[in-house]
Amino acid sequence: MAISQVNFYSKALKREVTFNALLPLDRTDMFGHGNTEERPFKSLYLLHGYSGNYMDWLSLSRIRELSHKYNIAVFMPSGENNFYLDDNDKGELFGEYIGKELVTFTRKMFPLSTKREDTFIGGLSMGGYGAIRNGLKYAGNFSRIIALSSAIITYRIAGISTDHKDEVADYKYYRRVFGDLNLLMGSDRDPEALVLKLIETKVEIPKIYIACGTEDFLLDVNQKFHDFLVSKKVNVTYRETEGGHTFDFWNNYIEKAILWATHNSEN
C-alpha cells in the first residue's frame, strides 16, 4: 500500500493545494518500475465534511484498509468550507478543481483507468453534497456517486431571510457560498436541476448510492432527494438504517458503497 501526500499548483484555485492519495501497490510500482499486472486502477475521489480537511478520511476511517481490500485508488482533497462549489468572485473554483482538474492531474501522475465506468466520486455530509453536485455537474467523468449523510441543504436555505441562523451557519455564510439564495433552486448548485438538465440533454446520469442514519439531522433532505430521484427514474440505491452523523455510520457504509461501486453490488 502506498500513501502519498501530494502538493501541486491548482489553476482552478490559483494556489498550491494538498491531497492525500492511497494506492494499493508498492511505492516502486507507482512510478512504473514494478509489477504492472494490477494496473490501471479504478479511482474514488473522496470528500470530507464541513470543518474538515484532506486528513479526515485517512485519520478517522478504514479507508486505507478498504483501498487495499477492493484494489481501488482513493484521492482525498480539501474543500475547506466551500461545499465544493465555485466562487467566481474570489476566483476559487472548487467545483472545477474537484470535478475536472483533480481527475486530470491524478490520471497523469498515477496508474489509473481513464474510463468513466472506473471513476467514482463520494463524500460525507458537506462532501456528500459535493459528490452529488460535482458528480452530476461533471457526469462525463464519473459513473457512480457515493453520498453518505449528504448535506443537501439547498432544500433548506433557498429563499431564507437575512436573519436566518441554524446549527451550521447563518445567512451571510450561505449567501457567500451558494450565491443569491432566491435564485438557488434551478441553478447548477441545485442537485434536482442538474438531474433535470442531464435528462433533458440525454446525458447518462451517474448511478447514485445514498445512505443516511435514522438519527441524522440531515435525514429529511436525503429522503426528499431520494424520492425525487425515484420519481425521475434515476438509478439510485438507498439505505436508511439506525445511526447518527458520525464516523461509526460512515465507516460502515463506505465499505458497502465501495463494494457497490466496484462490483456492481446492491449492498
Question: Would you tell me how many other CB atoms lie within 10 Å of the CB of residue 175?
Answer: 17
Amino acid at 169: A
**In the predicted structure, residue 26 carries a pLDDT above the cut 90:** no
- Write out the three cell numbers for 149: 449523510
- Cβ-based burial of 257 (10 A; exposed 0-12, middle 13-18, buried ≥19): buried
**In the predicted structure, residue 35 carries a pLDDT above the cut 80:** no
**In the predicted structure, residue 33 carries a pLDDT above the cut 90:** no
pTM of the full structure:
0.94
> Average pLDDT over the chain, rounded to whole?
94
Kindly report, residue by residue over 218-244, the tens digit of the pLDDT: 999 999 999 999 999 999 999 999 999
> Which pLDDT belongs to residue 5?
97
Per-residue b/e over 125-164, b at no fewer than 16 CB within 10 Å? bbbbbbbbbbbbbbbebbbbbbbbbbbbbbbbbbebeeeb
Q: Which domains does the chain have, with CATH numbers?
A: 2-28+35-262 (3.40.50.1820)
Can you give 126-138 as a three-state secondary structure string? HHHHHHHHHHHHC
Can you give 201-248 as a three-state secondary structure string? CCCCCCEEEEEEECCCCCHHHHHHHHHHHHHCCCCEEEEEECCCCCHH
- Write out the three cell numbers for 57: 478520511
Q: Could you tell me which residues are beta bridge partners of residue 7?
A: 18
- Write out the three cell numbers for 71: 484494489
- Write out the three cell numbers for 258: 465501495
